[in-house]
Every structure is written in structure tokens, then in C-alpha cells.
Amino acid sequence: MNHLVSIDQLSQTELEEILDKARLFEEQPNRDLLKNKVVATLFFEPSTRTRLSFETAVNRLGGRVIGFSDAKSSSTSKGESLKDTISMVSNYADLIVMRHFLEGAALYASELNRVPIVNAGDGANQHPSQTLLDLYSIRKTQGTLYDRTVVMVGDLKYGRTVHSLISGLSNYRPRFIFVAPEELALPEEYKEYCRSHHLPFEETSDFSSEVIAEADILYMTRVQRERFVDMEEYERVKDVYRLTADMLSPAKEHMKILHPLPRVNEISTDVDDTKFAYFVQQAGNGLFVRQSIICHVLGIDVK
């Protein structure tokens, strides 16, 4: 039985197969591949974007959706264990897409091995469908996944999508520039990962025009107030990692700005109309990538 719990579990071949099939869905998203299939979307914490994107994927494939968008209206609020909830839903659904606030929840669910599990985010840990849509967006806008200089900006400490993208790009000779305030710097384990995989990287807290000039991909993330112990520090840095249109003049022609969304203030809206903005289309790619993921774990052939 196939699950998608972590980006690391995919071989390079599998990963590229998922991206290749996503392109077929981009050409034609409406396909009757899930007839008679029921997919459960279990969101133990809310995530509108991810949920709507998965539910659109299922609907455009002709499947049906059951589920909940918030743990407050689930049996969990009556004290039911995750194991029992997953066992119960496995009786009804052919596939479970789950978002959980605890790290490891999706792995645990997959080990019950009742129906295929797709991890739609577990705490600060993994969010593989986001990473796959990031990769899809990089390949689509750059023509290749190889040899990209990826500048990652903002919260590199807690940013789950940042950590997964480092791993997802590891076979494609990336060069990273990590731009973050000290409090939110990339944890040592991910730097160690880069070293052991021979992925060159630089670190800086200075979101400078030199750094922007280097980027093929500028990957922005939210600097969340609640991550800071020291509110003065937050007030000091919050505007430093904010991207505005006037900062983009040194950018390469083909540079694209990605963001896992939702954004709050970290990308000024005057960036939206520049040729560099790609984060809305990036989210749109999520539909095709998720259709591809669903077919991958269910072993459904796509042509």
C-alpha cells in the first residue's frame, strides 16, 4: 500500500513521475479517474487552501469527498484516539488526506495501513504536497530543476516548507542562500544535511540587493509574531524581511518569487503585478500536483 508521508520517501524517479503526470492534469484537470471512490479530508487543524485544493482535485477526478475542516467538530473532541478515528474512517473512505497539528501523526496513521494516507501537513514536520508543488513551479518557470540558486527568506527555523524543499531539491545540484534573522535561522540539522549532501549554501541576515540579484528562485515565508520570544526583536526584524517592488530591479529576468501562502505582510502587494510574482500560479499548480499525488498513491494510471 502506497502512502505519501514525507518527501524523502520518494525516489527521484517517483518524484519526477509525479511532476510529469501533474503536467497532464494541467492540460486536462477533469478526468473520471476516481469514479466510485470516496476520499476523506481530515483536517485536525484548519487549512483552507490545502483543503480546498485537495477537494477540488478529488471532485475534478470524479470522486466524492467526506471529512471535517476542524477538529472541534470531530470525535477527537470527545477524547477519541487518532488510531480509532483513522480506523473508523478507513471503513468508509478509499484514501485519507490528513492535516494534523502533531508531528508524526501522518506516519502513525500510515502504519495502521488500512487505506493510503496522504500527509497534508503534520505540525512543523512535513507537507510533501506543498514541496511537490514548489518543485513543479520551479521546473515550470525555470525549464529545469537543476543548478538553481534558491534564496530562502524569513522564518527558516520553523518553516516546514523550507526544510522539505531543501530535501526535495537535493538531487538537483542547488545552491542555497538562507536569509533570516538570528532568532529564525535555519537549524543546524538542515545545514548539516546540506553539508553531507554537498549542497553549497550561504547564510546571512541581510536581505540585500546582492542577494536578490543572485536568485533564480526567491522563496519568501511568513515571519510570524508568535514565533518570537522577544517582541522587541520581532518589531525590529518584521519589516526587514518584507519584499517590495522597488527591491526587484537587480533581479534576473527569469527570477520567480514563490511563497507557500497565506502571506500577510512579507510580500508587498505592489509586487503582485511584476513579472517576478508567481505565488498565485504556484498555488494553482497545487491542484494538478495533488491530482497526480492522489493517483500515485492509489496506483491509478494517468495518460
Task: Point out the annotated binding site for carbamoyl phosphate.
Answer: 49-50, 99, 127, 130, 261-262
Give the nearer residue to a second copy in terms of CB position, either 12 or 265: 265
CA distance 196 to 176: 14
Tracing cell 549532501 back to the chain, one arrives at 197
Burial class for 73, CB neighbours closer than 10 Å (0-12, 13-18, 19+)? exposed
Nearer to a second copy, 5 or 261 (CB): 261
Listed residue (278, 3, 2, 8) closest to 164, CA to CA: 8
Whether a cis peptide bond, with omega within 30° of 0, leads into 46 is: no
**b/e burial code for range 20-35 (CB count within 10 A of at least 16 → b):** ebbebbbeeeebebbe
With binding defined as CB under 8 A, does residue 239 bind a second copy? Answer: no
Integer CA distances (angstroms), 105 to 9, 34, 112, 116, 121, in order: 16, 26, 11, 14, 9
Residue 55 identity = E
CB of 158 to a second copy, least distance (A): 14
Please answer whether residues 82 and 108 qualify as being in contact, where contact means their C-beta atoms are separated by less than 8 angstroms: yes
Q: Does 227 bind a second copy (CB under 8 A)?
A: no
Q: Does 93 bind a second copy (CB under 8 A)?
A: yes
Question: In this complex, which beta carbon is closest to a second copy, that of residue 67 or of residue 116?
Answer: 67
- Rounded CA-CA distance 252/245 in Å is 14
The correct pick among 11, 13, 79, 273 for binding a second copy (CB under 8 A) is 79
Binding track, positions 147-186, relative to a second copy; x by CB under 8 A: ----------------------------------------
**Angle in degrees, CA 213, 216, 220, rounded to 5:** 85
Residue the block writes with cell 520518494: 10
Per DSSP, 45 falls in state S
Q: Report in angstroms the alpha-carbon separations of 121 from 50, 105, 159, 241, 278.
A: 9, 9, 12, 25, 22
Residues in 25-64 at the binding interface with a second copy, rule: CB under 8 A: 30, 36, 38, 40, 46-49, 52-53, 55-56, 59-60, 64
Does the footprint of a second copy cover residue 244 (CB under 8 A)?
Answer: no
Least Å distance, CB 66 to a second copy, is 5
CB of residue 116 to a second copy, shortest distance in Å? 16
Q: How far is the CB of 257 from a second copy (least distance, A)?
A: 14
- Of the residues 80, 103, 111, 239, which one makes contact with a second copy according to CB under 8 A: 80
Task: Verify binding: residue 70, a second copy, rule CB under 8 A.
Answer: yes
Q: Is 198 in the site for a second copy (CB under 8 A)?
A: no
Q: Is 11 one of the binding residues for a second copy (CB under 8 A)?
A: no
Q: Do 142 and 253 meet the contact criterion of CB atoms below 8 Å apart?
A: no
Task: For residue 190, report the phi and psi dihedrals to the nearest 5 degrees.
Answer: -75, -30
With CA atoms as reference, report the closest residue to 130 among 20, 283, 252, 276. Answer: 283
Question: Going residue by residue from 121 to 140, which x/- string records binding to a second copy, judged by CB under 8 A?
Answer: --------------------
Site size for a second copy (CB under 8 A): 49
Contact pick of 264, 270, 274, 275 for a second copy (by CB under 8 A): 264
Instruction: Write out the residues near a second copy by the rule CB under 8 A.
Output: 30, 36, 38, 40, 46-49, 52-53, 55-56, 59-60, 64, 66-70, 72-75, 77-81, 83-85, 87-89, 91-93, 261-264, 269, 280-281, 283-284, 286-287
